């Protein structure tokens, strides 16, 4: 390996690994949550998102890697907890809801 001061290839790999995963309600198909993969890893993230628009929820998602979590513009996280199976249960609510 050379010791070049600039290693542009690092950046290329980083951006290539970015991957956006959109989590939608399984019932009404509204966009509920977004996961942005920063880098691949062995870490497994399991999550399920409860829908504020209907009484439904998303499918169970299993994603491996390191992720950054974001919400759609009009939603915020109301509650988040991990159940006994290691699944993150995320309840969303509308930003303007009381």
> At a CB cut-off of 8 Å and minimum separation 6, what does 57 contact?
25, 26, 27, 48, 49, 50, 51
Spell out the SS3 assignment of 33-81.
EEEEEEEEEEEEEEEEEECCCCCCEECCEEEEEEEEEECCCCEEEEEEE
Residue among 13, 18, 22, 28 that touches Zn ion (CB under 5 A): 28
- CB of 95 vs Zn ion, minimal distance in Å: 17
Pick 56 or 65: Cβ nearer Zn ion? 56
56 binds Zn ion (CB under 5 A): yes
18 binds Zn ion (CB under 5 A): no
53 binds Zn ion (CB under 5 A): yes
Q: Which window, 1-9, 27-35, 36-44, 76-84, contacts Zn ion (CB under 5 A)?
A: 27-35
Q: Which window, 4-12, 39-47, 56-64, 77-85, contacts Zn ion (CB under 5 A)?
A: 56-64
Please state, in angstroms and rounded to a whole number, the distance separating the CA atoms of residues 50 and 45: 16
């Amino acid at each position: 390996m050379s010791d070049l001061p600039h290693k542009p290839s690092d950046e290329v790999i980083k951006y290539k690994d970015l991957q956006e995963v959109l989590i939608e309600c399984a019932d009404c198909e509204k966009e509920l949550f977004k996961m942005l993969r920063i880098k691949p890893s062995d870490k497994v993230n399991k999550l399920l998102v409860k829908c504020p628009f209907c009484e439904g929820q998303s499918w169970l998602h299993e994603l491996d890697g390191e992720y950054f979590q974001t919400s759609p513009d009009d939603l915020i996280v109301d509650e988040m907890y991990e159940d006994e199976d290691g699944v993150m249960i995320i309840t969303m609510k509308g930003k303007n809801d009381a």
